[in-house]
Amino acid sequence: MHIVSHVEGKLKNDLTAFDLVRAAFPAGTVSGAPKVRALEIISDLEPDARNIYAGMIGYFGFDGNMDTCLALRTMIARGNT
């Protein structure tokens, strides 16, 4: 099951959309909770970085708006692989 949420808000004047992304990712749905401890455990157990997996794909507009989604089913292809 996949859930889609439309979230709107206003950031403090001294923050940008990049600050929001930095605070929100990785998403708790893929890292676990409590987030900081879950990320420590993942780092200890997984020998390789997750790279784009569970990251964000989307865009940042010149007007400060952004539209993003979680990158759950992803693949990195190099050359003819």
Residue 53 located in a structural domain: yes
Residue 36 lies in a domain: yes
Residue 33 lies in a domain: yes
**For range 14-28, the mean pLDDT:** 87
Q: Is the per-residue pLDDT at 6 higher than 80?
A: yes
Rounded-to-integer distance, Cα 64 and Cα 17, Å:
7
Residue 3 covered by a domain = no
Angstrom distance (rounded) from CA 79 to CA 51:
18
Structural domain including 32 reads 17-71
What is the total count of domains within the chain? Answer: 1
pTM as predicted: 0.63
Confidence of residue 1 (pLDDT cuts 50, 70, 90): low
Report the percentage of the chain scoring pLDDT > 70: 98
> In a 3-state reduction of DSSP, which class is residue 1?
coil
Residue range 46-64, pLDDT digits in tens: 998 887 788 888 999 998 7
Residue 2 lies in a domain: no
Does residue 78 lie in a domain region? no
30 in any annotated domain: yes
Kindly report the number of other CB atoms within 10 A of residue 14's CB atom: 6
Residues 6 or more apart whose Cβ sits within 8 Å of residue 7:
none
